[in-house]
Amino acid sequence: MKSHIKHLFRLICVGLMAPLILTFKLAGKSQQASLFRTLSQLVSLFPGVSGSYLRLALFRFTMTDCKVSGIVHFGTLFSSPDTEIYDHVYIGPQCNIGQCRIGAHSMLASGVHIMSGKSQHSFDSLDTPIQQQGGHYEKVSIGQDCWIGNGALVMANVGDHAIVAAGSVVTKDVPARAIVAGNPAKVLKYRE
């Protein structure tokens, strides 16, 4: 019975998000990324469990892939529609998520930032302001069954079953089953 109620509530949320989904789908490819960021900011303000259902209803149709079995808390912003969120992912409040893939059963605590790689901003020319030099965006992968602690900054891939300690700065790929901490994050031990 509970699963039927959840399914019905998800359908209602898709209906409520339909105008935003339609607006996104009708926008040209060149406008979709900017529109996606705007919609993400808007729906990040919906509180509670119903807010999470509404966010997932929107993201299901505007991201590369988004499963509806997860939770996306209040204040979480996404900056790229080229994002994948798999089954039973938990994303805590006030996260900032760039272009990424988050594997099934992974947890992101509050205030986690996943950047679109570590080369988002070029700064080679002193004759051109940094904000005008562009950069290179990469899709960062968070493996399945990972735990990313509060306030962590992630700029590189995190392997399956890994743990990133709170406040860590991930600048190099984290191996599967590793527990990392620090700035820059270093392997402390492995989960066996």
Alpha-carbon torsion angle 42, 47, 49, 54, nearest 10: -20
Which is nearest to 104 in space by CA: 72, 143, 75? 143
Give bridge partners of residue 153 from the DSSP assignment.
113, 169
CA–CA distance, 124 with 127 (Å, rounded to integer): 9
| 161 part of the active site | no
Residue corresponding to tokens 């899709």: 139
Which of 4, 113, 121, 136 is catalytic? The answer is 121
Catalytic residues: 121
